[in-house]
Amino acid sequence: MIGVKQKIIENHYYTDLVYGRINKKLTSNLSNGQIELFIDKILKETDEKSYVKKGKNYYVTNSDKNVRITINSNTFRVITVDKLK
């Protein structure tokens, strides 16, 4: 059986609008490709116990990188990335 982490890594995707939202939330100016590499790296490095489902979303929290990725649990669409406080 495939775990949640592997399922998200294999199936997550992005919409055109999410790249701008991520840059705004992270106060960065990354290209779409750089954002995808950044998120892929975080998803792979983060321990599966940090993948938490609340309501209709998964929240992937990586304290080392100081970010939380929000992913829709039904479609695996990346919604946003937030800085941790």
Domain boundaries of the chain, sorted by first residue: 4-83
Of the listed ranges 2-6, 52-56, 58-62, the one predicted with least confidence: 2-6
Q: Which tokens go with 48?
A: 């599966």
pLDDT digits (tens, 9 = 90+) for 14-39: 999 999 999 999 999 999 999 999 99
Q: Which CATH class is domain 4-83?
A: alpha beta
Query: Which of 35, 43, 50, 37 minimizes the C-alpha distance to 11?
Result: 43
In eight-state DSSP terms, residue 55 is T
Whether the Cβ atoms of residue 66 and residue 81 lie closer than 8 Å to each other: no
**Alpha-carbon dihedral 70, 76, 77, 79, rounded to 10 degrees:** -10
**Alpha-carbon dihedral 62, 46, 57, 39, rounded to 10 degrees:** 80
The pTM is what?
Answer: 0.93
